[in-house]
């Protein structure tokens, strides 16, 4: 028995944001944890709004987040499967042609709302006589198609929300095909889930009512019911949703702003659960934390301002192996020793470059006049090479008895002389990386 088959099914009509990443990560990591398959399914039946560049951006974002799909599917290449399904449903009387225009439907809805009724489709087209149909057809009206719900209470045991029961009599029969022949997600998604043998449908709670209708479609098409998990949606602190237009929270812009993929993953998965939102060292560790029962039933309030701290903490704990390739791209050398020396001071990985320059490239002196003599004295006390890991302590032990300085007065000028920075990683770790020749010249106030 192989692991679960899951899918992330975005429409390539825009960039994905951190709220979409929540769905993608919950799917991908659930599959990873249980040795399953993660499918990226591009819901691109809306040909007018779907764009190749958004499909590419979504793939790039998933790769960057560390969850490249095991399989990629597109609905646009599966039209004949939807035709087959429609024919099958038609043969058993589970779809029917409808002739209302958008305006007529809108007027109906308004009338119902005006009378205090829910705007549920009244099945007027289903009740139409053959003659009326023929009349519409002769006028050139093309039908659109609805799935005829079997009015009953549909129940499922949701992995997040427990038992859910929805009476399909309270729902409109879902439109499955428009008059122009295009398909709607409602049926296409069920056909795909059957064909692709999807076992777990993990998606946002905004799809709960769709699930009742789709379970009815699964049954009508002879597919088994799937397991569902409807997670809460990320919202901003004030409760507003993260619309796709919220450009600054797109995965692309977060990447460009230097946020760490692992920090975004931790925020996306852990916010709105009973677990603490804290950094993780690997996606595998994050996958281990996934437990649908720990996802809250209320909204998942997410403050974008928290990402900076999460990115910093992620870097502070990052192993050298996990950043080695990216440091190479930044042209940062120094190996693991350098990384361990500076990681605790980074807010963004790119800052490692500045510290690499501090230890490896010539820099102008910033020693204050009042500290020149002290720095020169300290220079004469620099131990001879070879330097061990203890060099900083040995040097200080030599300086202290003769310098007549302590605390900040002692350390700050040395920091300025050696790094030309007010703050930074511990000098204990930096000094061996700077090396004796460069340290000596810098202490003498030379550009080195
Ligand atoms: N394209 C749908 C969406 O993005 C997919 C929903 C689903 O996972 O079934 O909301």
For residue 242, the model assigns a pLDDT of 86
Query: Relative to the CA of 210, which ligand 1 atom is closest?
Result: 9
In the chain, where the domains are located: 5-72+233-309, 78-231, 318-360, 369-443
For residue 114, the model assigns a pLDDT of 96
What is the Cα–Cα distance from 349 to 48, expressed in whole angstroms? 40
Rg (CA), the chain: 31
What one-character-per-residue DSSP string does 403-427 give?
Answer: H---HHHHHHHHHHHHHS-SS-S-H
For residue 389, the model assigns a pLDDT of 86
CATH 1.10.510.10, applies to 5-72+233-309: no
Please work out whether the CB of residue 189 comes within 6 Å of at least one atom of ligand 1. yes
What one-character-per-residue DSSP string does 25-85 give?
Answer: HHHHHHHHHTT-EEEEEE----TTT--HHHHHHHHHHHHHHT---SEEEEGGGGHHHHHHH
CA 77 to chain centre: 26
Q: Are 270 and 277 in contact (CB under 8 A)?
A: yes
For residue 247, the model assigns a pLDDT of 78
Query: Relative to the CA of 201, which ligand 1 atom is closest?
Result: 8
Nearest to 228 by CA among 189, 269, 265: 189
For residue 360, the model assigns a pLDDT of 97
Please work out whether the CB of residue 11 comes within 6 Å of at least one atom of ligand 1. yes
Please work out whether the CB of residue 207 comes within 6 Å of at least one atom of ligand 1. yes
Q: How do 5-8 and 95-98 pair as beta strands? A: unpaired
Whose C-alpha lies nearest to ligand 1, atom 10?
10
Please work out whether the CB of residue 193 comes within 6 Å of at least one atom of ligand 1. no
Regions of the chain where pLDDT drops below 50: none
What one-character-per-residue DSSP string does 104-167 give?
Answer: HHHHHHHHHHHTT-------TTTT--HHHHHHHHHTTPPPEEEE----SEEEEEETTTEEEEEE
* Distance (Å) from CA 218 to ligand 1 centroid: 16
Strand order in the sheet with 5-8: 71-74, 37-42, 5-8, 200-204, 227-231
Nearest to 259 by CA among 21, 4, 14, 5: 21
Please work out whether the CB of residue 371 comes within 6 Å of at least one atom of ligand 1. no
Given the candidates 3.40.50, 1.10.3470, 3.80.10, 1.10.10, the CATH classification of the domain at 369-443 is 1.10.10
Please work out whether the CB of residue 108 comes within 6 Å of at least one atom of ligand 1. no
Whose C-alpha lies nearest to ligand 1, atom 6?
9
Nearest to 86 by CA among 183, 179, 168, 154: 183
For residue 244, the model assigns a pLDDT of 53
The two three-digit tokens of residue 389, written as one number:
């890991």
Instruction: Decide whether 5-72+233-309 matches 369-443 in CATH topology.
Output: no
For residue 379, the model assigns a pLDDT of 98
What is the Cα–Cα distance from 197 to 183, expressed in whole angstroms? 21
CA 38 to chain centre: 15
User: What CATH topology corresponds to 78-231?
Assistant: Rossmann fold (3.40.50)
What is the Cα–Cα distance from 149 to 123, expressed in whole angstroms? 11
For residue 1, the model assigns a pLDDT of 56
């Amino acid at each position: 028995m192989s692991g679960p088959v899951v899918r992330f099914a975005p429409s390539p009509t825009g960039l994905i944001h951190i709220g979409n990443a929540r769905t993608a990560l919950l799917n991908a990591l659930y599959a990873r944890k249980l040795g399953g398959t993660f499918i990226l399914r591009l819901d691109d039946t809306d040909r007018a709004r779907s764009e190749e560049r958004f499909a590419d951006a979504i793939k790039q974002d998933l790769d960057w987040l560390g969850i490249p799909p095991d399989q990629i599917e597109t609905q646009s290449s599966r039209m004949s499967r939807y035709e087959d399904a429609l024919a099958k449903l038609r043969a058993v009387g589970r779809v029917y042609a409808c002739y209302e225009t958008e305006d007529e439907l809108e007027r109906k809805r308004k009338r119902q709302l005006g009378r205090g009724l829910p705007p549920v489709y009244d099945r007027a087209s289903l009740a139409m006589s053959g003659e009326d149909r023929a009349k519409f057809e002769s006028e050139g009206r093309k039908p659109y198609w609805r799935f005829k719900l079997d009015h009953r209470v549909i129940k499922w045991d949701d992995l997040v929300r427990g038992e859910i029961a929805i009476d399909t009599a309270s729902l409109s029969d879902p439109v499955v095909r428009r008059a122009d022949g295009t398909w709607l997600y409602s049926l296409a998604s069920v056909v795909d889930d059957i064909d692709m043998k999807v076992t777990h449908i993990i998606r946002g709670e905004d799809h709960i009512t769709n699930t009742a209708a789709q379970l009815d479609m699964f049954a009508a098409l002879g597919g088994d019911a799937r397991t569902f998990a409807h997670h809460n949606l990320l919202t901003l602190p004030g409760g507003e949703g993260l619309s796709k237009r919220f450009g600054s929270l797109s995965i692309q812009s977060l990447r460009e702003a230097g946020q760490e993929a692992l920090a975004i993953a931790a925020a996306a998965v852990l916010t709105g659960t009973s677990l603490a939102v804290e950094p993780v060292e690997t996606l595998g560790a994050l996958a281990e934390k996934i437990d649908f029962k720990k996802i809250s039933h209320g909204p998942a309030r997410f403050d974008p301002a928290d990402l900076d701290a999460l990115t910093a903490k992620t870097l502070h704990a990052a192993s050298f192996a996990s950043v080695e390739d990216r440091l190479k791209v930044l042209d940062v050398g120094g190996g693991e020793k350098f990384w361990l020396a500076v990681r605790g001071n980074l807010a963004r990985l790119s800052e490692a470059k500045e510290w690499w320059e501090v230890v490896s490239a010539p820099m102008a002196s910033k020693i204050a006049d009042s500290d020149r003599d002290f720095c020169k004295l300290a220079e004469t006390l620099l131990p001879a090479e070879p330097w061990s890991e203890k060099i900083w302590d040995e040097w200080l032990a030599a300086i202290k008895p003769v310098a007549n300085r302590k605390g900040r007065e002692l350390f700050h000028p040395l920091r300025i002389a050696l790094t030309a920075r007010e703050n930074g990683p511990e000098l204990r770790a930096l000094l061996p990386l700077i090396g004796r020749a460069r340290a000596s010249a810098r202490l003498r106030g030379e550009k080195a």
